[in-house]
Amino acid sequence: MFVEPRWPVALAVGGYLVLVVVARVFVPDRPTLGTRWLVSGLIVLLLAALVAADPTRIEARRHWLRPLAGVLIFSFVAVALSSTAILVSDLVRGEEVTEQASTLLVSGALIWLGNVVAFSLLYWFFDSGGPLARYRGDHEYRDFAFTQHMSPELAPPGWRPRYVDYLVLGLTTNTAFSPTDVMPVAVWAKLTMALQSLIALTVVGLVIARAVSLFA
C-alpha cells in the first residue's frame, strides 16, 4: 500500500542531526540538555523509528511503530522546549556562555531549527490521525486546512498533505509567529501553533537583542 515516502522525513531529521553534531564538535561550550550526546542519541532513535518501515510504504501490520514514533516525537518536542528554557534562563541570568556572540548565535539557531523540525513532525504525525489515516480518509474533519483544501481547484483530485507541507508549516509558523497559508481547525492544532509561535518569538527576540549588544 503506497502511502507516503519517508525520505523527506529522514532528510529533515538527518540534516538537523548533522548540524547538532557539527555544533557539538566545533562549539563544545554551547549549553546543552543533559549529557553531552543526549540530544543526538534521541534524534538517532527517532530517525531509526521513522524510517524502520519500508521507505515508500506505511503498512498496517507494523502497529508497534506508531506508538514508538509518537513517544519519540513527543520526547523530541520536550527536548526542544527544554533547550529553549535553558537558553532563556542563561540569557536572563547573564551566564558566561551568553557573553560569546558566536556561541549564542549557534545555540539560538539550533534551537530555532530544532523547534521547526520538532513541531513539523508533531503536525505531520498527528494531523487527522497521521499519514495512514489521511490516506484512508478515516477522519471526516481535518485538523489543519491547507490552501488545497480551501481551494480544491488548485490541487489534483485526492490531494493530501505530505511531510514537506508540514515542514513548511513549521517553518512559516516559526518565522511569522502566526498562521500563514495553513489554518488550524482543531483545538489542539491551534494551541500547538500558538505555543510554537511564542517559543520562536522568545528565542528570536532575546537572542537577537543580546547578540546586537555584544557586537555593539
What's the pLDDT tens digit per position in 150-166?
888 888 888 899 999 99
DSSP β-bridge partners for residue 57: 2
- Angle at which helix 163-176 crosses helix 101-126, to 10 degrees, equals 130
Q: Could you tell me which of 101, 79, 76, 77 has the C-alpha nearest to residue 91?
A: 101
The whole-model pTM stands at: 0.86
Yes or no: say if 131 and 201 are a contact pair by the CB < 8 Å rule. no
pLDDT at residue 171, rounded to an integer: 95
How many angstroms separate the CA atoms of 21 and 32, rounded? 12
Task: Please tell me the predicted confidence (pLDDT) of residue 167.
Answer: 96
| Residues 196 and 150 sit within 8 Å (Cβ to Cβ) | no
- Name all contacts of 195-203 with Cβ < 8 Å and 24+ positions apart: 196/115, 196/119, 196/170, 197/173, 199/81, 199/84, 199/115, 200/112, 200/115, 200/173, 200/174, 200/175, 201/177, 202/84, 202/88, 203/84, 203/87, 203/88, 203/108, 203/111, 203/112, 203/115
Distances (CA, A) of 54 to 20, 59, 128, 152, 198: 26, 8, 22, 31, 36
Are 96 and 42 in contact by the 8 Å Cβ rule? The answer is no
Q: What is the pLDDT of residue 27?
A: 66
Averaged pLDDT in 10-residue chunks for the chain of 216 residues: 76 88 71 62 78 55 72 85 83 71 80 93 92 84 91 88 94 90 94 93 81 65
Contact 60, 139 (CB under 8 A): no
CA distances from 214 to 32, 40, 101, 104 (A): 21, 29, 6, 10
Query: Quick one: pLDDT at residue 161?
Result: 93
Percentage of the chain exceeding pLDDT 70: 83
Judge whether 76 and 178 are in contact, CB under 8 Å. Answer: no
Cα–Cα distance for residue pair 23/1, rounded to 1 Å = 39
The helix (H) or strand (E) run that includes residue 213 is helix 187-215
> How confident is the model at residue 29, as a pLDDT?
61
The per-residue pLDDT for 55 is: 46
